[in-house]
């Protein structure tokens, strides 16, 4: 399967568009000088107007992990460039594109001031420390983000300057790798997991042998040896350091066709997802480390589900969906979008929560716009830009288009030499600011009642993913269809034809294998949270979900279709409100309630 290009899909009004817009506003809000501060300092360039800082409170600089005193300084700008590049391409956003190109041009000035190769926000000597036992905090992780950002700028916007800068920067790595021939393991130290993917991507684009040489030098991760032998490579391993290694393996398969890389990627997925279990929200780590299989209840804390891992696991699932076309990967992505991407972004400020607390009676801890810059601040700004790339896929050989995610959007692209256009929206009518819906002939309002308008110049195979939570039922133009297949396909030429698609969501429970007395509550793929002190002490008391929870609806003028999945439950004379976890901002919440 092939993903559509960034310029071929855009979001339209709805929850995901709202989150994208908040994110875009944050990208624009950040000051260029502050974004570049550590690159200027490393290049010996005075920060304009800041040779002296009389009052730190009045200068607009970035602190936290971006502070000049932090060894990880400069990592965020790469995430920023990746996010800006995707949005600029998808939305033809000339204002954001101009800001992006200005940033890249200034980085080129810094690279030239550093001698023409080094493009770091940290000193080159940090890499020298990798050869010793002296402590250093992830220099390769830091540099990877800058390289990633430049590569995304080139791939999404075509800005040639970014590719030229990468070509120059790669010469530094060629020389560094050559200097370590007698100690090759040094090359993969310092959280170097993402580097393999960078060199593989560049080899795929340019076919230059130096990139394949670098990829081979970065392909000796110890985790690969364990995966190849079928041994547990993940338990108690640093989760966000290991997932990018799997990205690298997947990308190597994509550009070389060597099956060994696909086997490694699939084994990683098996150990991470199939063998391990997960929290209801999809997370599989605590304190940044993989939880041992079936020990998830004992790991519940305030430091569960680091957001970086959720973003990177979605990227891995996307690779595997393209390779296999199997529904399980899109189902995984859907659950993670609703219960991590939306859940861990503040819907008012766009800021992330580093971890997702899961103790009963938890509250989310939000980042600050200029004072934290955690790793998760970076992956959050990227995450809110990739929704369009996850919705539609095509297979040229099978003349097939597949709808993988149900998100309001428009797409216009070619299948072979024929043009296809798709508009997807929640099937509701607007009247005087109110929203009304029809589902199967009954007046209703459902997030999963959708309308597609499809136009194709020739016959195509148009497929809908039947989510696992839909229990094999899809309603097409009012006809209820039960199927054991993962996809339902319509084969015909579409002439601006409207198709009604409805899925029925159900309340279900999902527990943890090491505690049979608790359960999380789902509405379709959406995790519900019990709110407040009442939620902290809530008990189902043996009732089924349908018996215990009553739908609660409040009409507003906001994105109404996504305000459903709200319920009330009465127990012992006390009312408990259950809301989608993604709608919780500062409220106290509980994910796992007692049965």
For residue 537, what is the DSSP state? T
8 Å CB contact between 234 and 271: yes
Number of Cβ within 10 Å of residue 320's Cβ equals: 21
The rounded distance, in Å, linking the Cα atoms of 545 and 595 is 10
Q: What is the pLDDT of residue 352?
A: 98
Closest C-alpha among 65, 584, 525 to residue 338: 525
Which residue in this structure is represented by tokens 């530094």?
172
Instruction: Please give the structure tokens belonging to residue 18.
Output: 């709202």
Would you give per-residue pLDDT tens digits along the chain (595 residues)?
999 999 999 999 989 999 999 999 999 999 999 999 999 999 999 887 778 777 777 788 999 999 999 999 999 999 999 999 999 999 999 999 999 999 999 999 999 999 999 999 999 999 999 999 899 999 999 999 999 999 999 999 999 999 999 999 999 999 999 999 999 999 999 999 999 999 999 999 999 999 999 999 999 999 999 999 999 999 999 999 999 999 999 999 999 999 999 999 999 999 999 999 999 999 999 999 999 999 999 999 999 999 999 999 999 999 999 999 999 999 999 999 999 999 999 999 999 999 999 999 999 999 999 999 999 999 999 999 999 999 999 999 999 999 999 999 999 999 999 999 999 998 865 433 444 444 444 445 678 999 999 999 999 999 999 999 999 999 999 999 999 999 999 999 999 999 999 999 999 999 999 999 999 999 999 999 999 999 999 999 999 999 999 988 765 545 455 567 889 999 878 999 999 999 999 999 999 999 9
Which residue in this structure is represented by tokens 């902290």?
536
DSSP 69-87: TSTTTTHHHHHHHHHHHHH
The rounded distance, in Å, linking the Cα atoms of 130 and 139 is 9
Instruction: Please give the structure tokens belonging to residue 50.
Output: 């800041």
For residue 277, what is the DSSP state? -
The rounded distance, in Å, linking the Cα atoms of 582 and 76 is 25
Q: What is the pLDDT of residue 55?
A: 77
- State CA 250 to chain mean position distance: 17
Domain-wise residue ranges, the chain: 393-502, 507-594
- State CA 424 to chain mean position distance: 21
8 Å CB contact between 380 and 307: yes
Closest C-alpha among 56, 27, 128, 69 to residue 378: 27
Which residue in this structure is represented by tokens 């960078």?
198
Instruction: Collapse the DSSP code of 308 into the 3-class scheme (helix H, G, I; strand E, B; otherwise coil) and give the result.
Output: helix
Q: What is the pLDDT of residue 47?
A: 85
pTM of this structure: 0.96
Half-sphere exposure of 216 (CA within 13 A, CB side): 10
Q: What is the pLDDT of residue 573?
A: 84
The rounded distance, in Å, linking the Cα atoms of 475 and 468 is 15
Closest C-alpha among 498, 528, 504 to residue 446: 504
CA dihedral in degrees (224, 227, 228, 231; nearest 10)? 130
Supply the angle between the helices 209-217 and 195-206 in degrees, to the nearest 10: 160
User: Which positions ≥6 away from 396 have C-beta within 8 Å?
Assistant: 2, 415, 416
Burial class (CB in 10 A: 0-12, 13-18, 19+), 50: middle
Q: What is the pLDDT of residue 445?
A: 62
Q: How many residues does the chain have?
A: 595
The rounded distance, in Å, linking the Cα atoms of 229 and 289 is 22
């Amino acid at each position: 399967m092939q993903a559509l290009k960034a310029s071929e899909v855009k979001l339209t009004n709805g929850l995901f568009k709202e989150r994208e817009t908040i994110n875009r506003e944050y990208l624009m809000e950040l000051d260029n000088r502050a974004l570049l501060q550590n690159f200027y300092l490393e290049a010996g360039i005075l920060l304009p107007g800041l040779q002296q800082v009389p009052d730190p409170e009045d200068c607009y600089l970035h602190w936290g992990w971006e502070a000049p005193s932090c060894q990880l300084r400069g990592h965020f700008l790469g995430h920023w460039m990746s996010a800006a590049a995707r949005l600029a391409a998808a939305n033809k956003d000339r204002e954001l594109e101009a800001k992006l190109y200005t940033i890249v041009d200034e980085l080129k000035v810094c690279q030239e001031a550093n001698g023409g190769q080094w493009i770091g926000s940290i000193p080159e000597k940090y890499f020298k420390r990798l050869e010793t036992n002296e402590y250093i905090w992830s220099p390769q992780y830091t540099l990877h983000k800058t390289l990633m950002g430049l590569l995304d700028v080139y791939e999404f916007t075509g800005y040639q300057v970014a590719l030229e800068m990468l070509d120059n920067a790669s010469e530094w790595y060629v020389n560094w790798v050559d200097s370590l021939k007698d100690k090759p393991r040094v090359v993969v130290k310092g959280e170097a997991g993402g580097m393999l993917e960078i060199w593989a991507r560049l080899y795929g684009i340019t076919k230059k042998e130096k990139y394949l040489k670098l990829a081979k030098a970065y392909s000796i991760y110890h985790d690969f040896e364990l995966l190849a032998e079928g041994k547990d490579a993940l338990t108690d391993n640093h989760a966000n350091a290991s997932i990018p290694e799997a990205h690298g393996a997947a990308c190597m398969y994509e550009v070389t066709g060597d099956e060994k890389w696909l086997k490694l990627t699939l084994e990683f997925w098996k150990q991470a997802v199939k063998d391990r279990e997960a929290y209801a929200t999809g997370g599989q780590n605590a304190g940044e480390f993989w939880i041992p299989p079936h020990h998830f209840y004992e790991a519940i804390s305030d430091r569960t589900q680091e957001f970086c891992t959720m973003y990177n696991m979605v990227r891995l699932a996307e690779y595997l969906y393209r390779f296999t076309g199997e529904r399980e990967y899109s189902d995984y992505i859907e659950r993670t979008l609703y219960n991590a991407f939306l859940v861990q972004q503040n819907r008012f400020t766009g800021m992330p929560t580093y971890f997702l607390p899961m103790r009963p009676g938890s509250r989310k801890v939000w980042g600050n716009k200029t004072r934290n810059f955690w790793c998760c601040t970076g992956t959050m700004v990227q995450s809110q830009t990739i929704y369009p790339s996850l919705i539609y896929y095509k297979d040229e050989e099978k003349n097939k288009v597949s709808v993988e995610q149900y998100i309001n959007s428009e797409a216009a692209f070619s299948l072979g030499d024929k043009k296809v256009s798709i508009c997807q929206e929640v099937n509701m009518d607007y009247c005087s600011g109110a929203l009304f819906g029809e589902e199967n002939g009954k007046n209703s309002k459902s997030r999963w009642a959708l309308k597609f308008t499809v136009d194709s110049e020739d016959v195509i195979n148009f497929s809908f993913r039947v989510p696992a939570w839909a229990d094999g039922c899809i309603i097409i133009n009012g006809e209820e269809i039960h199927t054991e297949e993962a996809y339902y396909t319509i084969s015909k030429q579409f002439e601006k034809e409207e198709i009604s698609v409805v899925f029925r969501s159900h309340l279900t429970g999902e527990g943890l294998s090491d505690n049979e007395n608790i359960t999380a509550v789902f509405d379709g793929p959406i995790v519900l949270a019990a709110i407040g002190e009442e939620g902290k002490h809530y008990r189902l008391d043996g009732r089924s979900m349908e018996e215990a929870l009553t739908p609660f609806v409040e009409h507003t003028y906001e994105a109404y279709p996504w305000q459903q999945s709200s319920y009330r439950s009465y127990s012992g004379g006390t009312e408990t409100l259950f809301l989608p976890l993604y709608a919780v901002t500062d409220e106290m919440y509980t994910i796992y309630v007692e049965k």
